[in-house]
Structure 1
């Protein structure tokens, strides 16, 4: 349904009118460091969580996967919730949980088949080759019907967390999803997706907004189901020139953030902080575009490990957008001394940079990390990120 005071159509969601009662039913939050840092507040230390923290490096995760396929885990609320809670149960030093799911559920909702093949990763057997193929996508997507399992998983997880830490919801960014949808999977050259931006610029923009609409509805549904913060993953942002990022990727990401915040406001919801993780989009001109949260709708920017926090703060100028990151994921293979030295070094850089800081890896944790090394990393962040 639509409203007179909003330019966005409000998705049909079963929690539209009951989110207040649902929120009251959840246990009180005991650790709000993440939410405070995302607002730019000073915290006694940096809150820390890790992208892909519920995943293949954990033996308890691998045990579940022996009897369930990947997308079965995503689409079964009880399993997704249990997997989300695994790292929280194991690591008392984590300051946030992130719902177990996958960014490619959005192409699935749009009507595309997505397979997860052990040797290849995600495979989309019938990719979009020309703009004519866009007609194959669902024209009106009901996120409640197609992705309601995720909302159920979030509500279950909020209850299972018992207030220990906040729960993060997420989606993929439109450009990253478009790349998968055109390539038919991951790519090193992006020779099937990037040419769309040159050959079909208007059709590309239309497709990106179509994807963004589903992403925004998905995020709204997650918040109403209990998510307390959101993140948008633009994993392939760095494959674009600064011009093409500004022309194609960023407008679609802004469509998501403004639609989400507008709809939540319309529903009387206080709203949540949103993080944009534009991996590899590290030019000074791009950071300038991302420097004002009021103009982008994003409260926090996630950084990969190839930039220095002090340089980023300089590029951002006087804008005090909050930052997340940006330890090299391979630091977790550096043994205890190596992990401790790097956490100490980078924590000092972040303290000098100032502003809100959420400690994280600069990308997802990799499958061969030893669980005890992840635990040591978290301990070191708690120790060395303390404010003087």
Structure 2
């Protein structure tokens, strides 16, 4: 099977495949019992991320157990940040031992050579690609610069990330210095993943909804464009997923991505009106639908599929699947999408 016959890659390139492809953000995780057993056995989640044999096993689990049409690399958004010198522990989410807040902190960030500093991730890519059938593409990913900045300046998770949002007002030049370094890190990391064997990459921008349109134009867009410009010559589709940022929708067409990931807060038909030409979309089922009845899951899936009919579309959730989501409901969703596409 050539890349032009793989539904996921067809949709990424703006074609309407015969069957709608589906994968699910966080598909390799706690919804799968074998993953829970591995996590219980090995304890620290960092062991799973940093051990290629374990990360490979976890990446492959959803292909067999759920029947999804693409695998996504099992790693973490913050993984490359340790290579910069931003050390963290999980408690349970990432907590950075020393937030990056001053000019001296930013100057101290180390240059990163992905093959040397993140070789364990790239070895996972190579191992997964060898194990996957040719018909199943592997997606690599990284956090977008603004989102990574919010984490390392705050020092961990936050609802509003006031530390970096304050920096863009108090010292915008300093904020740009940090975003500049993070952009190079992300572009280098994604290029290395592509060289190792991933066939598409996704930029996760989960904090970007905190920016106003003017702030997005200054502190997110130029860095996203730089990354996409570096990836474009590699002929590898780029998916951009901004969370809770539909007030910035008019800017998304300027990012340079091949596919736009939608959260559940916007209708696909509404999104289509924002683009003069065809933009492939990914999404956008509300993850909470998967707590519902079989009937409600099927109905909501059909509603989205009907809206996207005739449009390049990759079915996904509007964010990651929640850890306590019943496995049976996720499997039902995958089967429903495939059965609809076959009609």
**What is the TM-score with the length of structure 2 in the denominator?**
0.95
1:104 lines up with 2:75 in the alignment: no
Identify the residue that residue 268 of structure 1 maps to in structure 2: none
The question of 1:59 aligning with 2:33 is answered yes
Instruction: Compute the displacement of 1:124 (Å).
Output: 0.8
Within the alignment, does 1:113 sit opposite 2:84 as a pair? no
The aligned residue for residue 205 of structure 1 is: 176
Identify the residue that residue 127 of structure 1 maps to in structure 2: 99
Residue of structure 2 aligned with 1:253, choices 215, 220, 224 = 224
Q: 1:160 — aligned with what?
A: 131
Determine the structure 2 residue equivalent to 1:304.
Answer: 263
Query: Per the alignment, do residues 320 and 112 of structure 1 end up closer, same or farther by CA in structure 2, a change over 3 Å counting?
Result: same
SS of residue in 2 equivalent to 1:337: helix
In the TM superposition, residue 321 of structure 1 has moved relative to its aligned partner by: 1.7
CA contact (8 A) 1:30 1:165 kept: no
Query: Could you tell me how far 1:205 is from its partner in structure 2?
Result: 1.4
Whole-Å separation in 1 of the counterparts to 2:80 and 2:221 = 18
SS in 2 for 1:245: helix
- List, as ranges, runs of 4+ consecutive aligned residues in structure 1 with deviation greater than 4 Å: 27-31
- Alpha-carbon distance in 1 for matches of 2:13, 2:190: 19
**Residue aligning to 2:112:** 141
Tell me the distance in 1 between the aligned counterparts of 2:341 and 2:222: 34
The alignment covers a number of residue pairs equal to 342
Question: Contact 2:21–2:69 (CA<8 Å) still a contact in 1?
Answer: yes
Residue in 2 aligned with 1:369?
A: 325
Deviations, residues 149-194 of structure 1 (Å, cap 9, x unaligned): 1111011001111224100000000000000001111101222110
- Displacement after TM superposition at 1:301 (Å): 0.4
* Mapped contact 1:273–1:299 kept (Cα < 8 A): yes
Which structure 2 residues correspond to residues 1-388 of structure 1 after superposition, within 5 A?
32-68=6-42, 69-92=44-67, 94-118=68-92, 121-138=93-110, 140-262=111-233, 264=234, 271-283=235-247, 286-291=248-253, 295-316=254-275, 318-351=276-309, 354-385=310-341
State how far apart, in whole Å, the 2-side matches of 1:167 and 1:72 are: 21
Change in Cα spacing, 1:31 to 1:336, as seen in structure 2 (3 Å) is farther
Please list every run of 5 or more consecutive structure 2 residues that lacks an aligned counterpart in the other structure: none
Gaps of 5+ in 1: 1-26, 265-270
Q: CA deviation at 1:57?
A: 1.4
Taking the aligned partners of 2:5 and 2:89, their CA distance within structure 1 comes to 37
CA displacement at 1:305 relative to structure 2: 0.4
Which stretch of structure 1 is more off in the superposition, 300-309 or 186-195?
Answer: 186-195
TM-score normalised according to structure 1 size: 0.85
**What is the DSSP-based 3-state SS (H/G/I as helix, E as strand, rest coil) of the residue aligned with 1:307?**
coil
Kept in 2, the 8 Å contact 1:131–1:203? The answer is: yes
Deviation (angstroms), 1:208: 0.7
Indicate conservation of the 8 Å contact 2:242/2:262, yes or no. Answer: yes
Checking the alignment, whether the CA contact within 8 Å between 1:31 and 1:95 is kept in structure 2 is: no
- Distance in 1 between residues matched to 2:306 and 2:340, nearest whole Å: 8
Shift of 1:252: 1.0
Q: Write the distance in 2 (CA, Å) between the matches of 1:386 and 1:230.
A: 27
